[in-house]
Amino acid sequence: MTTLLLDASVLLAAFDSEDDQHEQARALLEDDEVTLATLDLARYEVANVAVRAWRAPDSVAPLLATVERLEEDGGVIPSTRPLLSLAAELAEAHRISVYDAAYVAVVAERAHRLVSCDRRDLVSRDLAVLPAQAH
Amino acid sequence: MPKVMVSMPDELLAEVDAEVRRLGSTRSAVMRDFADAALRRRREGRAVAIGALLGEAGAHGGRAAELVKATRPEP
């Protein structure tokens, strides 16, 4: 069974009923037939969006608790120096940010499958799939 | 199916072998089942726990992927 690596956008979409990927992201997080993981970067990203964009600091706790639950499943992968070195190469190769490339680097290192709501930079380049396509 | 070598304490191996005898099975099959069951329990625990956390979802305007990028630190 391939572990699914969720980026921060999937976690955020699951907690936002107005996101067009909300239902699919939520279903994925509640699916007990798949192993789910994320990157440690996701902690900063979800907290940042909750505070700065949503203006909903109360959402930080459940979002971070969700990340911790993933730690107990497929894991929260640390952004190590080798991983970020690979991310830098991938960012240059795909013309994407090092942030996005860090998730892609995990896929390259561990044969995980990346799931993201980022159509523009990840899904359109076949670097990730949308939550609905992850099963 | 790949073959792997596993080290374990004598006491744990004795318990595995007792299970092998009880089921009339093999070490490989029993350890496969144990691993599968442990991972399944882990997934089920995560799904239930996150399901409860999702009760705190709200309406935030959508565009999650855009917001992640918009709130990242500027170079």
- The interface pTM score, or ipTM, of the predicted complex is 0.91
B32 touching A, CB under 8 A?
no
Beta strands in chain A (DSSP E): 4-6, 36-39, 76-77, 113-115
Q: Which residues of B touch A124 (CB under 8 A)?
A: none
Q: Which residues of B touch A54 (CB under 8 A)?
A: 60-61, 67
pLDDT (tens digit per residue) in A11-56: 999 999 999 999 999 999 999 999 999 999 999 999 999 999 999 9
Task: Count the alpha carbons within 13 Å of B18 in the hemisphere toward its beta carbon.
Answer: 6
CB atoms inside a 10 Å sphere around CB B36: 11
* Closest-approach residue (CA) in chain B for A53: B67
Mean pLDDT taken over chain A: 96
* Closest of B58, B7, B22 to residue A55, by C-alpha: B58
Distance CA B48, CA A51 (A): 26
Mean pLDDT of the region B47-70: 96
CA separation, residue A47 to residues A11, A60, B68 (Å): 11, 5, 10
pLDDT (tens digit per residue) in A116-126: 999 999 999 99
Give the single-character DSSP code of A20.
T
Copy the structure tokens of residue A108. 């390259």
| Three-state secondary structure string covering chain B | CCCCCCCCCHHHHHHHHHHHHHHCCCHHHHHHHHHHHHHHHHHHHHHHHHHHHHHHCECCCCCHHHHHHHCCCCC
* Cβ <8 Å between B64 and A19: yes
Closest approach of B34 to chain A, Cα-based (Å): 16
* pLDDT of A133 higher than 70: yes
For the entire predicted model, the pTM comes to 0.92
Mean pLDDT taken over chain B: 95
